Structure 1
């Protein structure tokens, strides 16, 4: 699956500095949030910096395709602003939310078994199916599969269809980076996520692939 993930040239032209670390996790045994996953969130909250340069870079990226980042914030911006009160959702979601806050990095988590075709990042023509809100506007950067948009405005709002739930067994994670974020820090975030996933499911099989512009 991760070999088929694509970043379209239209996105590369918009932000040639974009890099995504694509990770898959097979054989997860997810469950409700617990004391351990709550501790990941609280520890991450103590390091939260809403003014991290990476957050500012994402705000500029949103403006470049016509979004207003003060109204529809990049996911990492929204998480960092409420890091002290993030709710526990389930163990896997808590894991990647904690890493997102700690590393000031947008991370998308998707249920691989709910995907129809591979994930791809592209610029919307406008009107593509999005089940949970109005469809994207022309020029908006979106993640999608063959069935429709899975996340609007790059990493703003995920659809319900592919969300990670307690029943998720196979997952896709998208760790998204812009300049000036160091690639070493991106890889460290991937390792931190893998460590937490193995704490949840010791037998999980994890693969990773770096996609650069």
Structure 2
């Protein structure tokens, strides 16, 4: 199994200096213990309501600044970790979606970090984090029907050879590469800024892999640390 090493547009670093991430590729196995995810999500919600990670507020504030840097309005379209946190602080919990999604949402909440999960088999080519020119296509659902839209010029997006897979960096995932527990090839990206300690980023990745392997005994995981000096 080879790791997934996404390419990062160097212009991204001018918007978010010090950006780093951990990429995790997973070969899935039979889902035997879905309760692992529900327990993790419940515990993460409790930790958020109790105050959350000590670096959490600063890290989410840094993400808001990164979003403003490329023209997004984080109060209306916040990073994925902030959106989850707001729902938990409002409702006290988060509804279950899918065991794999619940698990990576739990990690996102507990560590105040955007975590993306994708069906790698649906990718065409390798993932790329780029500054959009506005011509790219993003598949979504509007009024209950499949639809396409394009990102704004200058927007940071994840994409592959076919189109955008996640808009506004980590705000909204597309339909085509959406992940579920039935996927056999999974890819996760944990994205951090300097306000989050590197040790915490690494711990979050280890927790995610351990949870996946507990839910799916026999699952294989491989991780890659992506640091700023690799983008120069």
User: 1:14 Cα shift?
Assistant: 2.0
CA, structure 1 residues 35+203, in 2 after alignment: closer, same or farther (shift >3 Å)? closer
Please point out which of 186, 200, 206 is paired with 1:191.
206
In the alignment, the residues of structure 2 paired with residue 164 and residue 30 of structure 1 have an alpha-carbon distance, to the nearest angstrom, of: 14
Give, in whole Å, the separation in 2 of the partners of 1:169 and 1:87: 24
Equivalent runs, 1:59-78 vs 2, <5 Å: 59-78=64-83
Report Cα offsets for 1:28-52 as digits up to 9, x if no partner: 3348x95432221110011114762
Equivalent pairs, count: 212
Cα separation, 2, equivalents of 1:107 and 1:3: 15
Matches within 5 A, 1:1-213: 2-30=3-31, 34-48=34-48, 49=51, 52-83=57-88, 84-132=92-140, 134-213=149-228
In 1, the alpha carbon distance for the partners of 2:31 and 2:73 equals 35
Contact 1:30–1:169 (Cα < 8 Å) also in 2 = no
1:98 offset after TM fit, Å? 0.4
Range with greater deviation from structure 2 (2-11 or 18-27)? 2-11
- The runs of 4+ residues in structure 1 deviating greater than 6 Å are none
| Secondary structure in structure 1 of the residue aligned to 2:189 | strand
Which deviates more, 66-75 or 86-95?
A: 86-95
More off after superposition, 44-53 vs 125-134: 44-53
- CA offset at residue 3 of structure 1? 4.4
Aligned partners of 2:165 and 2:174 also within 8 Å: yes
Aligned-pair CA distance for 1:169: 1.2
Q: Which runs of 5+ in 1 are unaligned?
A: none
Give the RMSD, CA atoms, in angstroms: 1.7
Verify the 8 A CA contact 1:28 1:170 in the aligned structure 2. no
Structure 1 residue 73 displacement after superposition:
1.0
User: Please, which moves more after superposition, 82-91 or 37-46?
Assistant: 82-91
Query: Would you say the 8 A contact 1:30–1:92 is kept in 2?
Result: no
State the 1:16 CA deviation: 2.4
Q: Distance in 2 between matches of 1:4 and 1:74?
A: 22
TM-score (norm 1): 0.94
